[in-house]
Structure 1
Amino acid sequence: MRPAPSLLLFTVLSGAGFGTLALAALGGAAPTVWAAGHALVLAGLVASTFHLAHPLRARFAFSRLRTSWLSREAWGAVAALALLAPVALADLAGGPRPASWGIPGALACLGTVIATAMIYGQLRAVPRWHHWTTPALFLGLATAGGAVIAAPGPWAAALCLALSAGLAASFAAGDRRMARCALTTDRATGLGRFGRVRSIEQPSTGPTWLTREIVEGRPQLRALRGLAVLLVGVAPAAVLTLAPGAAPLAVALHLAGAFVARWLFFSEARHLAGLYHGVPLAPQAPSRPATAAAG
Structure 2
Amino acid sequence: MHPAPSVIIFTTLSGLGFGLLAWLALGYPDVSGVVAFVFYAIAFALAVGGLLASTFHLGNRKNAIKAFSQWRTSWLSREGVGAVTSLIVMGVYAAGHIFLGEKWGALGVLGAVLSLGTVFTTSMIYAQLKTVPRWNTPWTSVLFMLHAIAGGALLAGQVTVAAILLAVLGLVQIVAWQQGDGAFAASGASLETATGLGRIGKVRQLEAPHSGENYLLKEMAFEVGRKHARKLRAIGFVLAIGLPVALLLLAPVNHFVALLAVVSHIAGVFATRWLFFAEAKHVVSLYYGR
TM-score in terms of structure 1 length: 0.88
Counterpart check, 1:156 vs 2:162: yes
Amino acid aligned to 1:273: V
Instruction: Please state if 1:141 is matched with 2:147.
Output: yes
Q: How many Å apart are 1:38 and its aligned residue?
A: 0.4
* Matching residue of 2:61: 55
What residue is the counterpart of 1:90 in the other structure? Answer: 96
State the identity %: 42
For residue 56 of structure 2, give the secondary structure of its aligned residue in structure 1: coil
Classify 1:177/1:205 alpha carbon distance in 2 versus 1 (closer, same or farther; 3 Å).
Answer: closer
Is 1:13 aligned to 2:13, yes or no?
A: yes
1:192 & 1:173 partners in 2: Cα distance? 32
For residues 252-283 of structure 1, give each alpha carbon's deviation from its aligned partner in whole angstroms, at most 9, with x where no partner exists: 0111111111111100001010111111xxxx
Query: Could you report, residue by residue, the CA deviation over 1:155-175 in whole angstroms, capped at 9, with x for unpaired residues?
Result: 111111111111111111222
After superposing on structure 2, the runs of 4+ consecutive aligned residues of structure 1 that deviate more than 4 Å are 186-189, 191-194
- Residue in structure 2 matching 1:260, options 265, 268, 271: 271
Residue in 2 that maps onto 1:222: 230
More deviation, 91-100/50-59: 91-100
Give 1:34-73 correspondences, 5 Å limit: 34-73=40-79
- Out of 252, 259, 270, the residue aligned to residue 243 of structure 1 is 252
In 1, are the aligned partners of 2:222 and 2:278 still within 8 Å (CA)?
Answer: no
Q: Is the 8 A contact 2:166 2:245 kept in 1?
A: yes
Aligned residues: 277
Deviation at 1:127, TM superposition (A): 0.5
In the TM superposition, 1:121-200 aligns within 5 A as 121-181=127-187, 183-185=189-191, 189-190=197-198, 198-200=204-206
Q: Which residue of 1 aligns with 2:84?
A: 78
Higher percent of residues as helix: 2
In the alignment, residue 234 of structure 2 is paired with which amino acid? G
Matches of 1:276 and 1:142, distance apart in 2: 36
Offset at 1:203?
1.7
Deviation at 1:183, TM superposition (A): 3.3
RMSD: 1.9
**Residue pair 1:232, 1:258 contacting (<8 A) in 2 also:** yes
Distance in 2, Cα, partners of 1:216 & 1:171: 18
| Contact kept in structure 1, 2:238 and 2:268, CA below 8 Å | yes
Assess if the C-alpha contact under 8 Å between 2:209 and 2:288 holds in 1. yes
Note if contact 1:23-1:147 (Cα within 8 Å) is conserved in structure 2.
Answer: yes
Any conservation in 2 of the 1:215–1:274 contact (CA below 8 Å)? yes
How many angstroms does 1:54 deviate by? 1.2
Partner of 2:22: 22
Counterpart of 2:279, as a letter, is E
Is 218-227 or 32-41 further displaced after alignment?
218-227
Q: CA deviation at 1:192?
A: 11
Is contact 1:186–1:192 with CA below 8 Å preserved after alignment?
no
Provide TM-score, normalisation by structure 2.
Answer: 0.90
Q: Aligned pair in 2 of structure 1 residues 187, 80: CA closer, same or farther (>3 Å)?
A: closer
Return the alpha-carbon distance in structure 2 between the equivalents of residues 275 and 179 of structure 1: 12
Listed one character per residue, the Cα deviations across residues 33-62 of structure 1 (whole Å, up to 9, x for unaligned) are 111100101110110011111112211111
| 1:115 partner letter | T
Q: Which residue of 2 aligns with 1:288?
A: none
| Whole-Å separation in 2 of the counterparts to 1:137 and 1:149 | 18
- Unpaired runs of 5+ residues, structure 2, are none
How big is the shift at 1:25?
0.4
Matched, 1:202 2:208: yes
Unaligned runs of 5+ in 1: 280-295
Amino acid in the other structure paired with 2:237: V
